[in-house]
Structure 1
Amino acid sequence: MNQLSSPPSLSLIGDNPALLWGMTNAERLHRLARAEGLAADGSASSARLHVNLDYAFDPVWLRHVLAHPGTVVIDGDALVMAHLPVGIDPTSEDIARHREKLTVIDYRTGPQIYNRQLRKLDCPFIQRLTPATRREIERRSYFGAYKGVTDLLTKYLWPELALWMTRLAASIGMTPNMVTAIGATLCVLATYLFAQGLYWSGMLAGFVFMVLDTVDGKLARCTITSSKWGNVADHGVDLIHPPFWWYFWGVGLSAWGLTLSTQSFALVMAAVIAGYVLQRLIEGMFIKDFGMDIHVWERFDSRFRLITARRNPNMVILFVALLAGRPDIGLIVLAWWTVISLVVHAVRLLQAYGVKRAGRPIVSWMEATA
Structure 2
Amino acid sequence: MTSPALATIGDNSTHLWGMTNAERVRRISQAQGFDEQGPTIILAHLDYAFDPMWTTYLKSRPGTVVTRNGRPVLAHVGEVEANEAAALMIAGRPLPGLKVIEAEDEAGILNEVLRKRERPFMEPLTPATVPAIERLSYKGAYKGVTDVLTKYLWPEWAFRLTQLSARIGISPNGITAIGSVLCIMATVAFWYGWFWTGLATGLVFMVLDTVDGKLARCTITSSKLGNAWDHGVDLVHPPFWWWAWAAGCAPYGRALSDEMFWIVIGTMLFGYVAQRLIEGAFIVRFGMHIHVWQKFDSDFRLVTARRNPNMVILLAGLLIGRPDWGIIGVAAWTAISLVVHLVRLLQAMAVKRAGVAMVSWLA
TM over 0.5: yes
TM-score, with structure 1 as normaliser: 0.91
Q: What corresponds to 1:323 in structure 2?
A: 319
In 2, Cα distance between the equivalents of 1:119 and 1:305? 19
Say yes or no: does 1:332 pair with 2:328.
Answer: yes
Q: What corresponds to 1:80 in structure 2?
A: 73
Q: Any stretches of 5+ residues in structure 2 without a counterpart?
A: none
In 2, Cα distance between the equivalents of 1:317 and 1:121? 36
Of the three residues 96, 101, 107, the one matched with 1:105 is 101
Q: What corresponds to 1:346 in structure 2?
A: 342
In 1, Cα distance between the equivalents of 2:112 and 2:257? 46
Of the three residues 215, 230, 238, the one matched with 1:242 is 238
8 Å Cα contact 1:197-1:255 kept in structure 2? yes
8 Å Cα contact 2:14-2:20 kept in structure 1? yes
Aligned-pair identity (%): 56
Of the three residues 269, 272, 294, the one matched with 1:276 is 272
Of the three residues 133, 136, 139, the one matched with 1:140 is 136
8 Å Cα contact 2:146-2:302 kept in structure 1? yes
Q: CA deviation at 1:94?
A: 7.5
In 2, Cα distance between the equivalents of 1:328 and 1:121? 46
8 Å Cα contact 2:67-2:101 kept in structure 1? yes
Q: What corresponds to 2:282 in structure 1?
A: 286
For each residue in 1:297-346, what CA deviation from the matched residue of structure 2 results, as whole angstroms up to 9, or x when unmatched?
11111111111110001001111111111111111111111111111111
Q: What corresponds to 1:193 in structure 2?
A: 189
**Tell me, what secondary structure is at the counterpart of 1:366?**
coil
Q: CA deviation at 1:119?
A: 8.5
Cα 1:116/1:180, change in 2 over 3 Å:
farther
Say yes or no: does 1:71 pair with 2:67.
Answer: no
**Tell me, what secondary structure is at the counterpart of 2:143?**
coil
Of the three residues 39, 52, 55, the one matched with 2:48 is 55
In 1, Cα distance between the equivalents of 2:41 and 2:172? 31
8 Å Cα contact 1:120-1:149 kept in structure 2? no
In 2, Cα distance between the equivalents of 1:119 and 1:178? 33
Q: Any stretches of 5+ residues in structure 1 without a counterpart?
A: none
8 Å Cα contact 2:107-2:117 kept in structure 1? no
**Tell me, what secondary structure is at the counterpart of 2:3?**
coil
Q: Which moved more, 1:295-304 or 1:182-191?
A: 295-304
Question: Cα RMSD (Å) of the superposition?
Answer: 1.8
Equivalenced residues, count: 356
Q: CA deviation at 1:121?
A: 5.1
In 2, Cα distance between the equivalents of 1:213 and 1:311? 12
